[in-house]
Amino acid sequence: MTRPLTIIGSFVSPYVRKVLACINLKGLAYEVDPITPFFGNGEFERLSPLRRIPVLIDGDVSVSDSTVICEYLDEAYPGHPLLPADPKDRARARWLEEYADTRLGDLFIWGLFYQKIVHPLVWGEPGDQARIDKTLHEDAPAALDYLEGELPPDGFLFGDIGLADIAIASFFRNAAYAGFEPDAARWPRTAGFVERTLDHPCIDDLLRFEDVQRNAAIKGRRQALLDAGAPLSAESWGEREPRKGYMRL
């Protein structure tokens, strides 16, 4: 029997969600070690030198960075294609994924989700209110204006759902966790696209594990995830206390 793919990383990370949704689209078996990145041990640091999640372990191969992982999955496994076939469409899909990872990541993760949820939880201190305000009132509206011109009024970006759709929508789920949703009157395409994509079973099926991960106390989290049917790995690359050694912010 072939071993399932292993993903190291929290169900609540937009980058981990992107990879898991792509694995679901491909119909592959996986197991997860749901660590928060700041809690990674020395072996985690060897696998992920930037100490970021997700990490994929596939037999004797380990890969970090969600984009690299998804492209590896698309090349190594048949089934639902993650990128469109036409080179011009592929380039545009890659750009929109990059825009999501970089710009939406800066805004929704580092500007909102991290400040409002992760920072207080992990470090026990409030986040940066000035950064939250600037994100909400200046930077996020500008990003949504851009997306409104790029996203389709119905369906997905390149026919069937793929990596670019998933990447964009994934960040909006974390934005919603931090209390921000696109106003459908001002950005109707974006609001509709995000709702449609998050409703697709490849992402929607992950929601129950995210709910557990968000709501269970750290101590009881592993058991709560197992009780909810989450496919967890027996091995873990985390430790009990967060490490401040490497931090982007």
Q: Which is nearer to ligand GSH, 13 or 24 (CB)?
A: 13
Strand partners, 81: none
Q: Which is nearer to ligand GSH, 75 or 154 (CB)?
A: 75
In the three-class reduction of DSSP (H, G, I as helix; E, B as strand; rest coil), residue 53 is classed as coil
Q: How far is the CB of 53 from ligand GSH (least distance, A)?
A: 4
Q: How far is the CB of 58 from ligand GSH (least distance, A)?
A: 16
Cα–Cα distance between 24 and 201 in angstroms, integer?
9
Q: How far is the CB of 184 from ligand GSH (least distance, A)?
A: 27
Containing 64, the helix (H) or strand (E) segment is strand 61-64
Are residues 64 and 48 in contact, defined by beta-carbon separation less than 8 angstroms?
A: yes
Q: Which two tokens stand for residue 5?
A: 């793919």
Q: Which is nearer to ligand GSH, 67 or 233 (CB)?
A: 67
Parallel, antiparallel or unpaired: strands 5-8 and 55-58: antiparallel
Q: Which is nearer to ligand GSH, 109 or 212 (CB)?
A: 109
Q: How far is the CB of 113 from ligand GSH (least distance, A)?
A: 8
The candidate with the shortest Cα–Cα distance to 15, out of 204, 171, 208, is 171
Q: How far is the CB of 18 from ligand GSH (least distance, A)?
A: 8
Q: Which is nearer to ligand GSH, 49 or 153 (CB)?
A: 49
Q: Phi and psi of 137, rounded to 5°?
A: -100, -20
Q: How far is the CB of 185 from ligand GSH (least distance, A)?
A: 30
114-132 burial, b at 16+ Cβ within 10 Å, e below that, comes to bbbbbbeebeeeebbeebb
CB-count exposure of residue 172 (10 Å: 0-12, 13-18, 19+): buried
Q: Which amino acid, residue 191?
A: A
Contacts of 117 (CB under 8 A, 6+ apart): 177, 178
Q: Which is nearer to ligand GSH, 125 or 154 (CB)?
A: 125
Q: How far is the CB of 191 from ligand GSH (least distance, A)?
A: 23
Distance from chain centroid for Cα 47: 19
Q: Which is nearer to ligand GSH, 38 or 193 (CB)?
A: 38
Cα–Cα distance between 115 and 22 in angstroms, integer?
28
List of residues contacting ligand GSH (CB under 6 A): 13-15, 37, 51-54, 65-67, 101, 109, 246-248
